[in-house]
Structure 1
Amino acid sequence: MRKYQQLFLLLISFLSVCILLMYKSENNRLKYVLKYVNFFGRNDAAVLRRLDNGIGNRTMDEDKMFHLALSRPLPVWQLIGSSGDFYAYSSYWKRNELIAGGQAHVLVVGRKGAVVDFRCSLDMANGRQVQGKFRFQREEGQNHDTDAAFTSYHFFCQVSRDFGKPEIVSFMDAGTKNPVKLRLRHIKTQTKSLRLLPAIVCVDLVDYNMNSTFARREDALLQFFLIHQALGVDYFVVYNYDELPLQIIHILQRANIHLNGLPFNFPFPRQPSSNLTHQLIETDCQMRSFNYASFSILMKPNEIMYPSARFLDNDGKRSLHEQLRHYDATETRFELATFNVCFDERKKLLMDHVQYDPELKTNYKMLLHRLELPPPAPMATNNQVELALSKGLVHRYVDCVKVGKDGLHDWRNGVREDFMQHIDTLRNEVDLLI
Structure 2
Amino acid sequence: MRKYYQLTLVVVSVISVVSLLIYRHEYNRLRYVLEVLNFFGTPGQSASASECAPFNVTRLNYDILGFREHLPTWQRISSTYSVYSAFWEASDGSNRVKAVGIGLMKSEPNFKCHVWFEDETDPVPGKFSYLLLEDKDNTVGNFKLPKGDGLNAHFLYCKPQASLGIPTGVSFYVSTTHVPFKPFIPVQSIDDRTIVENSTLVCVAPNSLPVVSKTSVVEFLSYHQLVGINDFIVYDRTLPSQFPVVLQNRVVQERFNLRVLFLPWNFPYSAVDNDRAVRLAVEKDCVMRAWGKVRNVVVLSWNDYIVPKLFRSLAVMLDNLESDRKITLRFSLPTLVFCTDLADDPQADSTLPMAARKTKCLKGSGLDKMFHVYRPLSIPGNRTGSTRIVSPRIAAVHRYISCFKEKGTLPSEENLMYEPTVLKFASDLKRSKLLKAGETSKLFQ
- The answer, yes or no, to whether TM exceeds 0.5 is yes
**Which one is further off, 85-94 or 176-185?**
176-185
Distance 1:172 1:220 in 2: 41
The alignment status of 1:399 with 2:383, answered yes or no, reads: no
Contact 1:329 1:373 survives alignment (8 Å): no
- Corresponding residue number in structure 1 for 2:419: 411
- Corresponding residue number in structure 1 for 2:391: 388
Distance change >3 Å, CA 238–CA 355, structure 1 → 2: same
Distance change >3 Å, CA 340–CA 244, structure 1 → 2: farther
List aligned pairs for 1:249-398, cutoff 5 A.
250=246, 253=253, 254-271=255-272, 274-307=275-308, 308-311=310-313, 319-326=316-323, 329-343=326-340, 347=350, 348-349=352-353, 350-359=355-364, 365-374=370-379, 383-398=386-401
- Corresponding residue number in structure 2 for 1:225: 221
- Corresponding residue number in structure 2 for 1:208: 208
- Corresponding residue number in structure 1 for 2:171: 170
Distance change >3 Å, CA 147–CA 208, structure 1 → 2: closer
Distance 1:190 1:303 in 2: 30
Q: Please report how far the alpha carbon of residue 169 of structure 1 lies from its aligned counterpart in structure 2 after TM superposition.
A: 1.1
Distance 1:158 1:201 in 2: 30
Distance change >3 Å, CA 391–CA 362, structure 1 → 2: closer
The structure 2 residue matched to 1:91, chosen from 66, 78, 86, is 86
- Corresponding residue number in structure 2 for 1:65: 63
Distance 1:178 1:404 in 2: 54
Structure 2 residue matching 1:133: 3-state secondary structure: strand
Q: Please report how far the alpha carbon of residue 285 of structure 1 lies from its aligned counterpart in structure 2 after TM superposition.
A: 0.9
Contact 2:73 2:266 survives alignment (8 Å): yes
Alignment deviations for residues 190-214 of structure 1 (CA, whole Å, 9 cap, x no partner): 44xx54570111112x243254xxx
The alignment status of 1:238 with 2:234, answered yes or no, reads: yes
Contact 2:335 2:369 survives alignment (8 Å): no
Q: Please report how far the alpha carbon of residue 139 of structure 1 lies from its aligned counterpart in structure 2 after TM superposition.
A: 1.9
Alignment deviations for residues 77-115 of structure 1 (CA, whole Å, 9 cap, x no partner): 0111xx422211000110153x4x511111111233224
The alignment status of 1:116 with 2:119, answered yes or no, reads: no
The alignment status of 1:131 with 2:131, answered yes or no, reads: no
Q: What is the alpha-carbon root mean square deviation over aligned residues?
A: 3.3
Distance 1:325 1:389 in 2: 16
Could you list the runs of 5+ residues in structure 2 that have no partner in the other structure? 1-53, 139-145, 345-349, 436-445
Distance change >3 Å, CA 312–CA 84, structure 1 → 2: closer
- Corresponding residue number in structure 2 for 1:426: 425
TM-score computed with the length of structure 1 as normaliser: 0.70
TM-score computed with the length of structure 2 as normaliser: 0.69
Alignment deviations for residues 112-168 of structure 1 (CA, whole Å, 9 cap, x no partner): 322432111211224163221100122214997654243322110124754322221
Distance change >3 Å, CA 58–CA 147, structure 1 → 2: closer
**Which one is further off, 329-338 or 270-279?**
270-279
Alignment deviations for residues 159-187 of structure 1 (CA, whole Å, 9 cap, x no partner): 47543222211112222154111111111
- Corresponding residue number in structure 2 for 1:50: none
Distance change >3 Å, CA 76–CA 196, structure 1 → 2: farther
The structure 2 residue matched to 1:140, chosen from 134, 148, 151, is 134
- The residue identity in structure 2 corresponding to 1:226 is S
Contact 2:202 2:232 survives alignment (8 Å): yes
Structure 2 residue matching 1:222: 3-state secondary structure: helix
- Corresponding residue number in structure 1 for 2:190: 187
Distance 2:401 2:367 in 1: 11
- The residue identity in structure 2 corresponding to 1:130 is V
Contact 2:96 2:159 survives alignment (8 Å): yes
Distance change >3 Å, CA 340–CA 365, structure 1 → 2: same
Q: Please report how far the alpha carbon of residue 300 of structure 1 lies from its aligned counterpart in structure 2 after TM superposition.
A: 0.7
Distance 2:55 2:361 in 1: 36
Distance change >3 Å, CA 390–CA 248, structure 1 → 2: farther
Distance 2:181 2:273 in 1: 35
Alignment deviations for residues 344-387 of structure 1 (CA, whole Å, 9 cap, x no partner): 58643322321111256999741111123427xxxxx9643211
**What is the count of residue pairs matched by the alignment?**
348
